[in-house]
Amino acid sequence: MKNKPNVSIIVARSRNGVIGANNTIPWMGKLKEDMIYFLRTTYSHPVIMGRRTYQSLAGPLKGRQNVVLSQTPGYRLDSHPGWDKQKHRRITALRRNLKEAVRLASIKDKTDNPEIFILGGGQIYELALRLGLVDRVYITQIDAEFEGDTFFPDLDPNQWQLVSDWHWDTDDRNSYPFNWKVYERQT
């Protein structure tokens, strides 16, 4: 029998806690290595996101089940401008609450190391942490400050243990230095 999947958050956050501005990411396109890390880490695993994050993407993320949360009556995933029925119908689902989304995602992970990724945004991260659903948090901690309207909180060190920390310096593909940090919830 397969293991129960880990529920993980993956987020990139500035020094002052910003994760978004005007429904986009302020450092979009300026941290290429982090985008590769994000795509590799989540590949093949189900991802859960709020309706606003879904709308901010070019389209559903390929190679993984996308579960979108919305309570807007009549909202349809195929209203996304990047929607392609052939490519996206089978890899997307809409759910009205986070626990149902996690339940669906748990069934959809066919990998040997099942892990569900909560992709954001601010409302969904806050909800997942408040409900105590999260086992692990992958934070790209960017060493720069940005203006924004959406934030990710500091994790309580009594509750979250840092299990890995990897630094990346500024280079021609990455405009700011950052650290990939992984935290696990202390049981």
Ligand X SMILES: NC(=O)c1ccc[n+]([C@@H]2O[C@H](COP(=O)([O-])OP(=O)(O)OC[C@H]3O[C@@H](n4cnc5c(N)ncnc54)[C@H](OP(=O)(O)O)[C@@H]3O)[C@@H](O)[C@H]2O)c1
Burial 75-110 (b: 16+ CB within 10 A, else e): eebeebeeeeeeebeebbbbbeebeebbebbeebbe
Structure tokens at 28: 């979009």
Provide the minimum distance between the beta carbon of 120 and ligand X in the complex, in angstroms, as a whole number.
Answer: 3
Among 9, 46, 47, 52, which residue sits at the site for ligand X (rule: CB under 6 A)? 52
* 78 binds ligand X, rule: CB under 6 A: no
* 5 binds ligand X, rule: CB under 6 A: no
Which residues are within 8 A (CB) of 127 and not within 5 positions of it... i.e. 6 or more apart? 98
Whichever of 110 and 153 has its CB closer to ligand X, that residue is 153
* 42 binds ligand X, rule: CB under 6 A: no
Among 2, 15, 16, 23, which residue sits at the site for ligand X (rule: CB under 6 A)? 23
Interface with ligand X in residues 142-171 (CB under 6 A): 150
Distances, alpha carbon 150 to alpha carbons 24, 34, 56, 59, in Å: 10, 19, 13, 21
Binding region for ligand X (CB under 6 A): 11-12, 19-20, 23-25, 49-53, 56, 69-72, 75, 96-98, 119-124, 127, 150
